[in-house]
Chain A
């Protein structure tokens, strides 16, 4: 069953379109993430799903029920806001039961739901406090609690972790994931943070300029980005992209980069033959460029390249090197000490190379 269906949704402010024909189908129990840079329309789309904003065109179905003209309160949804939006004058308990009170849920049922959720989120001790007496993480929990007591068809999260500091964000991220695994509800989650998208989602919709660039599971989005935007947006550091030429030689097709004429065997792409002797954009993830003694399956490929700069992070070292004259990033083991200016040998994992059409910027399958 699809929990949410979005069909050809457009949103225009005056003549300016901010959403250009969004089509998405989200299954029941899915953790769908809308990710993209600010201004890509993801929050607008979430507000339209919630019924807080109206689409200029197109339709929304929640639980197979058309939602055109249905008020936010009647959509069987709950929402968690970036600012938490807790009612400042109410206690945590009142905050959480306000929705049920508005819906005239019997008192006994309210208490039951409150007890269940407070226990689930471990906020029993906070119930009589005001939001101003809570820390950021506690507010976040209460905001989720307010959504959970309602037991809706669809949970909407609008950048819920953006206001937390880095450490707490990672903790809450794991907690949200654990929560989803326990209660199995359908979640639509908006974020600009691609790491959040990768770690939490069952499927990711990458948005840019009011369009969905790709809607797929995290593995596919990461390894087979639909176009150059997705390739450069997902991953930190992002995928290296550099001009290359498809050539044929003994043993099959190769991508040839730059003046050094480095040849990378093409294994993953089936349609590379269509681009024989033509320019393409080659994409290679930084983790596919490693220190020379790293063993990749199928042997990998050894190249020598000048090191420009290193960024040790502790767990690994990011290296800026020149491959065929182009600056690319690699990730090497932290105990490898490379010096800027020297030439070093690197092992390349060529299995996950992606090729993109330079004109359409689309992935060559």
Chain B
């Protein structure tokens, strides 16, 4: 009996390890190539071990690699993305928290309908929203600006952040709000002093969700911005456009890794809070 249990344990672990390895192959290839020189790759093929570890790919990609006639590396695009993702994440999270708070704790006539409409945004495909956004950006004069992208991501993000926060706040006992109302606190004071201090688990979830979502977003970046105003995801494509003439897999792999670094770091530091926050209630 113990033998068969051990065997099944082994089988389970072997299967899981095999799948994990399979899953990690693309990452492994990219990491290895980012450490190889162009000659090494040309000589030994794309899938191979580094002949010699080369670190210069990273510094070159970062500051001097040429993308669409601009030899500035990916650095400016990286900062574009940062200037887009930070305000968009913070503001959409704040709005989501406020929306969720009022939808769950200040029930009003038709609140379910409003909530339904807001969360409908979660299910609308991105492409469907392109044309309306073109019109809005054009009329506001925000075409090809970082601010325009920030605005789009705030508005689009509110669906998700509202959904997350509302579902978290419904577990706050209504008595808490009644007590605060009798104590003389109003809508915003209750939010700041009572609800927000209970919110870190869900705020971490929405921040991680929004940060990775906005950072990785490509379609809006490439549609609504061009040249120097592109976020890093759009710039990466411009970079791979050079693949046709002389493939520089080393630099490109390094660019991919640099572009992925922020979300990877966010996941590494916040991942366990993410799972914990999604399953937590507000008050034990």
Contact = CB atoms under 8 A, between A and B. Distances in A.
Interface of A: 47, 50, 52, 71-73, 77-79, 81-83, 85-90, 98-99, 102-103, 132, 146
Given A83-B173, A98-B193, A102-B189, A88 B283 contact: yes
A181 to B, nearest CB: 25
A197 to B, nearest CB: 22
B182 A79 contact: yes
B175 interface: yes
Interface in B176-194: 176, 178-185, 189, 193-194
A86 B183 CA distance: 12
B109 interface: no
B110 interface: no
A163 to B, nearest CB: 11
B194 A79 contact: no
Contacts of A87: 176, 179-180, 193-194
Nearest to B179: A85
B43 interface: no
A103 B179 CA distance: 14
A324 B197 CA distance: 66
B169 to A, nearest CB: 13
23 contacts: A47-B178, A52-B182, A71-B181, A72-B181, A77-B182, A78-B182, A81-B179, A83-B175, A85-B173, A85-B176, A85-B178, A85-B179, A87-B176, A87-B180, A87-B194, A88-B197, A89-B198, A90-B194, A98-B180, A98-B185, A102-B183, A102-B184, A132-B284
Contacts of B198: 88-89
A46 to B, nearest CB: 11
Contacts of B176: 85, 87-88
Nearest to A158: B175
Dominant secondary structure at the B interface: helix
B170 to A, nearest CB: 16
B183 A89 contact: no
A77 B185 CA distance: 14
B283 A81 contact: no
Contact of A99 (B178, B184, B194): B184
Q: Which 10 A/B pairs are nearest by Cβ-Cβ distance? A: A89-B197, A99-B183, A102-B184, A85-B175, A73-B184, A85-B179, A81-B175, A72-B181, A83-B175, A72-B182
B190 to A, nearest CB: 10
Contacts of A78: 182
Interface of B: 173, 175-176, 178-185, 189, 193-194, 197-198, 283-284
A102 B193 CA distance: 11
A52 B189 contact: no
B98 to A, nearest CB: 18
Contact of A79 (B179, B197, B284): B179
A103 B186 CA distance: 11
Which of A47, A82, A85 gathers most chain B CB within 10 Å?
Answer: A85
A176 B149 CA distance: 60
A90 B184 CA distance: 16
Contact of A103 (B180, B184, B194): B184
Nearest to B183: A99
Contact of B185 (A85, A89, A102): A102
Nearest to B283: A88
Contacts of A103: 184
Contacts of B175: 81-83, 85
B109 to A, nearest CB: 13
Contacts of B197: 88-90
Contacts of B179: 79, 81, 85-87, 146
A50 B194 CA distance: 20
Contacts of A99: 182-184
A73 B182 contact: yes
Nearest to B177: A85
A103 B184 CA distance: 7
A50 B185 contact: no
Which of B182, B184, B194, B198 gathers most chain A CB within 10 Å?
Answer: B182
Contacts of A82: 175
